[in-house]
């Protein structure tokens, strides 16, 4: 057995392959704060019990605190890493009458960014002029969104390749490499306000 995008429980020695989530999220949120002056960053988190989602939320919270910005739970919505759920969550948020101020959206993943961008557009909110939007994964469509999406490039295919190699090694009674965390890379595009 090889785990993909999750680590084993502490008492079990199961090889795993995942991507770096926390530091990349911290750096991306800090970019919004330090480069673009954003302080009210809405977060569309992923599935509550999914490890990548938890680590990205951890990075989001760390970055805010490190920059002296209190975490506002009113700005944390469930996006579930899914465009339709993210779209509905943004629509509910924008139409709830509470009018909670925000100047950026971190969607947690690129698929949710599609839903967020659609909802913002339908509510007459311009990206990036009014609100910056950032994602995670750098899926193939990210540079083709309007505006092109600032995101974190995660080597998802490489995760699968390494996990397969690990599994074949185990089947041949060879040792595994334990927990492997692949590096990620921030890709700056226009959706955050960069040119």
CATH number of 88's domain: 3.40.50.2300
Domain that holds residue 20: 3-192
Q: How far apart are CA 190 and CA 11, in angstroms?
A: 44
Residue-wise pLDDT tens digits, 64-87: 999 999 999 999 999 999 999 999
Domain count, the chain: 1
pLDDT of residue 10: 85
Give pLDDT, residue 100: 79
- Vertex 162: Cα angle to 106 and 81 (nearest 5): 25
Alpha helices in 22-131 (DSSP H): 22-34, 51-66, 83-94, 110-122
Cα distance between residue 150 and residue 147, in whole Å = 9
Contacts of 9 by beta carbon, 8 Å cutoff, 6+ apart: none
Residues of the chain with pLDDT under 50: none
Taking only the tens place, the pLDDT of each residue in 36-75 is 999 999 999 999 899 999 999 999 999 999 999 999 999 9
The answer to whether the beta carbons of residues 190 and 145 sit under 8 Å apart is no
pTM of the model: 0.92
């Amino acid at each position: 057995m090889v785990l993909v995008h999750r680590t084993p429980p502490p008492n079990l020695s199961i090889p795993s392959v995942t991507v770096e989530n926390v530091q990349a999220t911290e750096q991306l949120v800090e970019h919004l704060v330090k480069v673009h002056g954003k302080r009210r960053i809405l977060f569309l988190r992923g599935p509550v019990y999914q490890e990548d989602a938890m680590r990205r939320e951890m990075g989001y919270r760390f970055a805010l605190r490190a920059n002296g910005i209190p975490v506002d739970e009113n700005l944390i919505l469930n996006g579930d890493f899914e465009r339709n759920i993210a779209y509905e969550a943004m629509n509910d948020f924008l139409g709830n009458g509470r009018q909670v101020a925000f100047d950026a959206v971190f969607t947690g993943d690129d698929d949710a960014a599609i839903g967020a961008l659609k909802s913002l557009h339908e509510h007459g909110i311009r990206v990036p002029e009014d609100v910056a939007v950032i994602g995670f994964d750098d899926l193939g469509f990210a540079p083709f969104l309007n505006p092109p999406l600032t995101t974190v490039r995660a080597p998802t295919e490489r995760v699968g390749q390494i996990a397969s190699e690990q599994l074949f090694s185990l089947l041949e009674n060879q040792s595994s490499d334990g927990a492997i965390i692949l590096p990620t890379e921030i890709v700056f595009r226009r959706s955050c306000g960069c040119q």
